[in-house]
A and B are shown apart, each in its own frame.
Chain A
Amino acid sequence: MSAFLTYLLNGLAVGCAIALIASGLVVIHRVTGVVNFAQGTFAVVAGLCASSLLGLGFPHGLSELAAILVAALAGLLTGLAAIGRRGTTPLSSLIVTLGVGVLAYAVEIVLWGDQPRSAPGLAGSVTLAGARVQTQHLLVIGVTAAAFVLLALFFGRTYLGKALTACASNPYAARVVGIDTRLMGLLAFALGGLLGGIAGVLVTPLRPISFDTDVTLIVNAFAAAVFGALTRPVITLAGALLLGVAETMAAGYGYGSHQLEVALGLMIVVMIVQASRRSAISQEPA
């Protein structure tokens, strides 16, 4: 029983990290209509940055914060490439973000080499109802909960958040009332970078990260975001938690080598079910 509880809590922590990356995908897609392939890259960049800064002797907190800001900057630059030029279609933008992800490989290998790196996190573990849980896992869960609450407040209660939502629901009307949709798009990319960065610094102490970890991160995050049809953050969170728990349980009960297949298979099934429920005309680009 305690093993089950351990797996459950570990799974929730893994799911929370996926949820943070996925929420970045959702934010960007809601505002710009672009699926950002480089979303996993932001987490990798932040994780590698944090490990370097900590290695140089900078204190905890400061290092993580700096790494997250670097990821936000990376998000902004990705946004400039993907939607900075007028008349780029969402599919072209997807291919551009794919290019940004590959470009990041080159930069990451030059700066950090191609070997996986790790970073120290919160040490120790606590015992909850007979299950031992690493403190870092609890930190991941706590930070994710806070991030989702803040995101909800930001989108629901602030003018800036409402302006972002306006761009998503009707770009033309948003422009008519004086909202700069391109600026909002760039802001969404920076926010996506920020969220990916938070996930990156939280995950690096749990599992070592290397330049090509982004592929697993992005497919997991996309799988979670697909649950919420790429627009609904709360369902995305639920999807990510489900995914994290399913993967950890598969690993814990001896099917570890099939983790990836579980996640990807689940994603494909969800997408196909969703696609068959929507009519063809509503999906046709205007």
Chain B
Amino acid sequence: MIRRVAGPAVAAVTLALPAVLDDSALAVYILLGLAAMVTVGVSLLMGYAGQVSLGQGAFYAVGAYTAALLSLHGVPPLAGLVAAPVVAAASALVIGVPLLRLRGHHLAFATLAMQLILLSLAGQLEVTGGDIGLQAIPQFSVGSFEAGGASAYAYLTWIGLALVMLVTRNVITSRPGRALRALATSETAAASSGIPVGRYKLVVFALSAAFAGLAGGIYCFYTGYVAPGSFPVLISIQYIVMAVVGGLGTIWGAVVGATAITLLVQGLNSLAALPGMPSYAPGVLSYAVYALVLILVVLFLPRGLLPALSGRFDRDRGHR
């Protein structure tokens, strides 16, 4: 009952929010939504396919650079935004064929290496603007409508996140979705019952990359510039933190995790910006929050925040 009401209620409230928030709050809203988009993909990849990717930020970057480069060369922004997830997914397919033969920590390091290589290349190539990156990216527009203010980007983010969640829900309730769950438990058992393990892993990898690419595309129009410095290794770790905190393999868990971490870091940042705090305080506090939350949740709430909470709720109802 609660579950049926909660989803639409959250949707309605979040749809109304952009109309009442001011610009700095809208920035948090947008970044939160973008992070949630990537985290849903990470949650799908880690929770359902059992693969750890420390390089999800790379696909975010691929999406951002794709949309930025296309729109800087006169392609309509909408086409750029559509191309962002497509190119990210395509690059995931190409990279995934060799990389997904690796498992566990090997895959984790390989994806981290992939992101480092990509950032290093983006910092050196002429096309991507080197370390300075790409600037003066045009505003997002569809036909004659141009997204001027932050609230337009907030709605764009909302639509993107809704799309990502809808796609994910349909994937995991489908027959291949059940196959994925089998695959996460034991690849050998899944393979012997006829599931094409390699192909499914590749598709999930590409799908999660597409989500990251879409978020990256929106990000580049919103901020108006992209540079290698926008996609540090920490950003990929941040998505892992959010996915693990919310609960792996759940759609809403990813959103809850992204919301909890973003708001926590944001709150601490405004605390750190108070007069009298040292200049390094914001960075230090966010590192400490990511780290402590990650360690404590992995050790003490291995299933994540949302499953732990709803599990408790279900138990309480069962007693009555």
| A105: B residues at CB distance < 8 A | 284, 287, 291
The B interface is mostly helix, strand or loop, or mixed, namely helix
In chain A, positions 251-284 with a C-beta closer than 8 Å to chain B are 257-258, 260-261, 264-265, 267-268, 271-272, 275-276, 280-281, 283-284
Q: Is B116 an interface residue (CB 8 A)?
A: yes
Q: Is the CB of B109 within 8 A of A222?
A: yes
User: Ordered nearest first, which 3 A-B pairs have the shortest CB separation?
Assistant: A103-B291, A99-B294, A99-B295
The distance in angstroms between the C-alpha atoms of A265 and B267, with both chains bound, is 40
Q: Is the CB of A98 within 8 A of B287?
A: no
Q: Which one of A44-52, A83-91, A160-168 contacts B?
A: A83-91
| A98: B residues at CB distance < 8 A | 54, 237, 240, 294
Q: Is B275 an interface residue (CB 8 A)?
A: no
Q: Could you tell me the distance in whole angstroms from the C-beta of A2 to the nearest C-beta in chain B?
A: 30
CB-based nearest B residue for A259: B120
Q: Is A95 an interface residue (CB 8 A)?
A: yes
Given contacts A102-B294, A106-B285, A109-B283, 18 further A-B contacts (CB under 8 A): A90-B104, A92-B298, A94-B104, A95-B240, A96-B299, A102-B287, A110-B280, A215-B116, A215-B233, A219-B112, A226-B109, A261-B120, A268-B114, A271-B102, A275-B102, A275-B103, A275-B106, A280-B191
* CB-defined A-B contacts under 8 Å, sample of 18: A88-B299, A90-B104, A91-B104, A96-B295, A98-B240, A98-B294, A99-B290, A99-B291, A105-B284, A110-B280, A215-B233, A219-B109, A257-B120, A264-B116, A272-B102, A280-B187, A280-B188, A284-B186
Q: Size class of B's contact patch? A: 35 or more
Q: Is B121 an interface residue (CB 8 A)?
A: yes
Q: Is the CB of A257 within 8 A of B124?
A: yes
Partner of A106, one of B99, B106, B191, B284: B284
Q: Size class of A's contact patch? A: 35 or more
Task: List residues of chain B with CB under 8 Å of any chain A CB.
Answer: 52, 54, 98-99, 101-106, 108-110, 112-114, 116-117, 120-121, 124, 186-188, 191, 233-234, 237, 240, 244, 280, 283-285, 287-288, 290-292, 294-295, 298-299, 302
In chain A, positions 59-104 with a C-beta closer than 8 Å to chain B are 81, 85, 88, 90-92, 94-96, 98-103
Task: List residues of chain A with CB under 8 Å of any chain B CB.
Answer: 35, 81, 85, 88, 90-92, 94-96, 98-103, 105-106, 109-110, 113-114, 215, 219, 222, 226, 257-258, 260-261, 264-265, 267-268, 271-272, 275-276, 280-281, 283-285
A284 and B188 in contact (CB under 8 A), knowing A109-B284, A268-B110, A275-B102? yes
Q: Could you tell me the distance in whole angstroms from the C-beta of A46 to the nearest C-beta in chain B?
A: 20
Q: Could you tell me the distance in whole angstroms from the C-beta of B47 to the nearest C-beta in chain A?
A: 13
CB-based nearest A residue for B54: A98
